[in-house]
Amino acid sequence: MEKLHSLSNRITCLSLLFILNLFYPANAEFNSLTRIPFSKGFSPLFGDGNLMRSSDDKSVRLLLSQYTGSGFRSSDLYNHGFFSAKIKLPSEYTAGIVMAFYTTNGDVFEKTHDELDFEFLGNIRGKAWRFQTNVYGNGSTSRGREERYSLWFDPSKEFHRYSILWTTKKIIFYIDEIPIRQIIHNDEMGGDYPSKPMSLYATIWDASDWATSGGKYKVNYKYAPFVAEFTDLVLHGCAVDPLQEIPSPGCSENDDDWPENINYSTLKPRQLVAMKKFRQKYMYYSYCYDTLRYPIPPPECEVDPLERQQFKETGRLKFGKKHHRRHGKRRSQTTNGDVFEKTHDELDFEFLGNIRGKAWRFQTNVYGNGSTSRGREERYSLWFDPSKEFHRYSILWTTKKIIFYIDEIPIRQIIHNDEMGGDYPSKPMSLYATIWDASDWATSGGKYKVNYKYAPFVAEFTDLVLHGCAVDPLQEIPSPGCSENDDDWPENINYSTLKPRQLVAMKKFRQKYMYYSYCYDTLRYPIPPPECEVDPLERQQFKETGRLKFGKKHHRRHGKRRSQVLNLSKDEERDDI
């Protein structure tokens, strides 16, 4: 039993509701960029008393107080380049605040200015920062090209790198190493594509009249000062005279094209995939889908017909439609739905409560690539009362198989079959556990509701295990120490391959406690899904609905053989499972 206990400490644990999605921040070639000391490349813009430089000249803080905001700018203008900084935003109550990191030449070309910007919009306590990007060329403020997004992290907790690449051929906005937006130069854009030398700016100011909920929530100076921190500042470009556009010494006539020769100027296939995932998950407004504003999309827009269906004619995401799906029946699962909303993967244990005197029931399910219309659920009863003591619930997921365990007993195995295609989970997942009110469906189809007379309802977790290789969710870059072949590592550990006696134990469990299987639901699947191993004798025990013929089996289930179902011999108990 010592070996058995060791196993329970290693198997990935899931209870009540779990979702397997391992996130890890990746590194990129941005680490090789040359950092510029503040005094070498920048100067204060306004609010000098609210600009605080570090003693080593490598960092700067911008403060917003009740008296003024603050800002800084690059000392030179650049005819294209790469502009970047690590930034940490103010925390807590930040409604009404705007912090911008942008390039512009508005001080030189007031009516025909160009601009590329990150603009961060504060929020009330408990609500996340939002941000937008925008592109203007030649004073085209009446033809704004803004997009708005949420973030997958709290920008006030730690530094993240925000970067703008600007060349004659393209513009790319980055967060850390993730490209979030790319604009390819199109001749039809004409002067709307930024073309004149620009400086880099950073500012923080009071925008109470519009920044948060259209001006509903104002800056509350009770929480002042509001501090934005900047470090690892990068100016990678060729400085020029803003009027004559004469390059500085050492810059060639072809320096407009130099950024095209550096690593981060051309997106690799994996970066394009990462950008698409980010935009599917976090973009909630795009001018390209705002048909009220632009009945004909601007020429640089690459309209995806499927993606377009997610947005209203106002260009805003159809939140109502997506909200229902995310909070419906399947919330208690293992999934990556927060990253891949329409193509999510999921593996779940889902436990369904009951009225007094009736036992808990549970189900397992498998989804791949958003295959919610082809659910693979199975439903079971338990051979113990799960409220009396702790039991271990585990999910093993590899490229070759999925196994669900209760304690040391395997209860379900799905062998990867090429015919499953994208229905087999393949993208990085996180582990989740949740408890919530599902009165509308959970018990007898919604007949019995949650009775808060008995609240609070408590689920307890212990001995939590995460045994896997963490990856970046968008780029799928493994964390340090993980090899390229780590997809296969679980195949080398004990609990990834079922021994003959475990297969027998699993079969006994399923014969005894499974009361619904999609594999036998011929109304739903006249032809069983490809991974189903249909047992002709077992199939006779199920109706065409996939449900157990309770009347026929009831006597057997409560008769002589009940105590035999999952018993292991003493010799078997001594084996490593």
Catalytic residues: 115, 119
Residues in contact with 60: Cβ distance below 8 Å, sequence separation at least 6, in sequence order: 38, 42, 51, 52, 53, 54, 72, 229, 230, 231, 233
Instruction: Please give the Cα distance from 143 to 145 (Å, whole number).
Output: 6
Cβ atoms < 10 Å from Cβ of 498: 16
Residue 84 token pair: 């970047």
Closest to 225 in 3D by CA, of 90, 427, 85: 90
Pair 274, 28: CB distance under 8 Å: no
At 21 the three-state DSSP class reads coil
What is the CA 351 to chain-centroid distance, rounded?
Answer: 25
Pair 119, 134: CB distance under 8 Å: yes
Instruction: Please give the Cα distance from 283 to 292 (Å, whole number).
Output: 18
CA quadruple 486, 488, 494, 495: dihedral positive or negative?
positive
Residue 369 token pair: 């690539």
Instruction: Please give the Cα distance from 559 to 465 (Å, whole number).
Output: 38
Q: Which amino acid is at 313?
A: E
CA quadruple 150, 156, 159, 164: dihedral positive or negative?
positive
